[in-house]
Amino acid sequence: MIDCLRSLLRPVSCLPSCLSGAVALVALALSAGAGAQTVPANAAAATSAATVSASSMSSRVLACTACHGKEGRATPDGYFPRIAGKPAGYLANQLLNFRDGRRSYPQMTYLIEHLTDDYLREMAAHFAAQDLPYPPPPAPQAPAAALERGRALVRHGDAARNIPACVSCHGAAMTGVNPSIPGLLGLPRDYLNSQLGAWKTGQRRAHAPDCMADIAQQLTPDDVSAVSAWLAAQPVAAGGKPARTLPAAMPVRCGGVADVTVAAAAAGGPAAGSVVGAVR
């Protein structure tokens, strides 16, 4: 069935039998989270598939929604993240990272390994355009002291250990910044934990300079747990929409982030306001 799902992602119409089988698999995958939805997920998936053309992007990305939830809203299992409404540049970069081996998840790589850069960006634009409400956050899943530690790291960082505040790059509302910086809210604690751990161990990488890998190396396991728990317990402001710009220069240089100003020290000496080069 994964071969059938992969065929849906190709920029051509899928055979009806393949589309029917894929819809059934998507409906089954989504039905696990149906209790949290007003309309049963399997019925919604079937209705959606019946009303779109097999050649439309909505039907081609059914392979994505099998794991990421209806319309990319995410599922409540705590692992697959929401992709709906995320910055298009960020989503495109991650698809390229999966395809090119900088991120490791075999199912993702298999689904997209033969897709072109332009088509992956088209898929990213589709999900970025989804304007869907976020559910309320779950109750905090850590002691008060750990939550306060997480809040302090997110809001203020730890200068003594060269850990910048998360908000200095991901935005004051932590909903990300267009076109390429992701939001940190509306994500499950377990997913946040796993990604910070992957940065720390080198299982997740980005274009050089890999700023998140450098930051993750400074975090202790308790730091990771505290940050993940605090972020996962926060409501999503402003509908989760990414900010247009950062209010100040980024404190560190990051690869893969285009047209964002970086502080002079992080830029290697040029005047403040130098622009991070686009890395594609």
Instruction: Please tell me the pTM assigned to this model.
Output: 0.79
Asked whether the beta carbons of 2 and 29 are under 8 A apart, the reply is no
Q: What is the pLDDT of residues 190-202, one digit of tens each?
A: 999 999 999 999 9
Instruction: Report residue 242: phi and psi, to 5°.
Output: -65, 150
Contacts of 254 (CB under 8 A, 6+ apart): 169, 206, 209, 210, 211, 212, 260, 276
Q: What is the pLDDT of residues 220-276, one digit of tens each?
A: 999 999 999 999 999 998 889 999 999 999 999 998 886 788 886 565 543 333 333
Between 254 and 15, name the one with better pLDDT.
254
Asked whether the beta carbons of 85 and 131 are under 8 A apart, the reply is yes
- State the Cα–Cα distance between residues 204 and 7, nearest whole angstrom: 26
